[in-house]
Structure 1
Amino acid sequence: MKSLYKIVALVGLSIGAVSCHDTAKPNYQFFPNMYESVGYETYSESNAFKNGKEGQLVPEGAIKRGFVPYEIPNTTEGYAEAKANLKSPLDSISSNLEKGKELYTIYCAICHGDKGDGKGKLVEREKFLGVPNYKDREITEGSIFHVETYGLNAMGSHANQLTQEERWQVAGYVLKLRSEL
């Protein structure tokens, strides 16, 4: 009889333990927002701000901190203007040719070559053709900066990868390479 009570008690405890367990949903959640996060639709309105979206938009004409606007347009006339009039704002301390060389090696040498002769790795492997030799082109510091900012022909813009100061440093290094060819 004792063993029958033990068996009934064991079966009862087993049923009780199994019936309270739900595998689809844990019983206790330490961080419920991680398990059941709120799904937001991209670009939809949200009540995250006190007054909705009103007053949270960027005012017209605002620029991000540290950004200096480049006013010359991306046109043929803009290129000619930059070539004729644009000069580097960097002084002799900020004009770092070593940094310019480092940045040139990272971003430019793959196409233009280490010496600026237009024979980079991608040109040698015939991925891009017609990359100009700096010696063959009439370039100035302003025209180099303008092309780095907007791109020209098959070359894309490097404005997102390089700050204005870094583009000026690369332009100074390109002129140094041109003088050595």
Structure 2
Amino acid sequence: MKTVYKITLLFGFAMLIASCHNNKAPNYQYFPNMYESVGYETYSESKAFKNGKEGQLPVDGTINRGFETFEYANTTEDYNRSKIDLVSPLDSLDRNNGKGQELFDIYCISCHGASGNGKGKLVEREKFLGVPSYADREITEGSVFFVVTYGLNSMGSHANQLSAHERWLVADYVLKLKSQL
């Protein structure tokens, strides 16, 4: 009786193997788009987006991750307001750690000079003219932060290179240079 079961089991197994293979009808693919992906043209319209256009716009009122809002606009009125109202959030340990000087040496020294006199290497070589000395300016930590954020005259914005905390460190160091002039 055991032999009959073995033969039946072997025959059933052979039929199962033989029935799975058919040269006229190949097997089904589980995720066919993974094996044979559909090619899309870059920047073309697509049904994958709600509006059928190139892409989606962010929801109104959203801001980028890590972005810090700055409530002062890039206007002369807000520049003057920043001189009076804008105060540094740095504590005494941040003000004396030397990071402000390090950042100033990287980003500012080439135009403003090591002492803040407006005679950096680029001014000496006449690449930029009219860089003022800090001694000649009526500046506060808020106005320096504003200028580093937005730029002023031929100085561009450094908001992409420096975080808000780093801009405050630079502003603090600029005021230290002004007091030494």
Give the TM-score normalised by structure 1: 0.72
Task: Identify the residue that residue 79 of structure 1 maps to in structure 2.
Answer: 79
1:90 maps to what in 2?
90
Q: Distance in 1 between matches of 2:97 and 2:125?
A: 29
* Equivalent pair of 1:97/1:169 in contact (CA under 8 Å): no
Give the partner amino acid of 1:74. Answer: N
Question: How far, CA to CA, are the matches of 1:102 and 1:126 in structure 2?
Answer: 25
Q: Which residue of 2 aligns with 1:137?
A: 137
Partner residue of 1:64? 64
C-alpha distance in 2, partners of 1:83/1:68?
20
Give the superposition deviation at 1:68: 1.4
| Structure 2 residue aligned with 1:15 | none
Tell me the matched-pair count: 144
What is the TM-score of this pair, normalised by structure 2?
A: 0.72
Unaligned runs of at least 5 residues, structure 1: 1-31
Superposed counterparts of 1:143-162, under 5 Å: 143-162=143-162
**Map of 2:41 onto structure 1:** 40
Q: Which has the larger radius of gyration?
A: 2
Give the Å deviation of 1:53. Answer: 4.2
Root-mean-square deviation (CA), in Å? 2.4
Q: Is the 8 A contact 1:113 1:121 kept in 2?
A: yes
**Which runs of at least 4 in structure 1 moved beyond 4 Å after TM superposition?**
53-56
What is the rounded CA distance, in whole Å, between the counterparts of 1:46 and 1:102 in structure 2?
A: 49
Query: Partner amino acid for 1:65?
Result: R
Helix, strand or coil at the partner of 1:58:
coil
Q: 1:56 offset after TM fit, Å?
A: 5.4
Distance in 1 of aligned mates of 2:67 and 2:165? 11
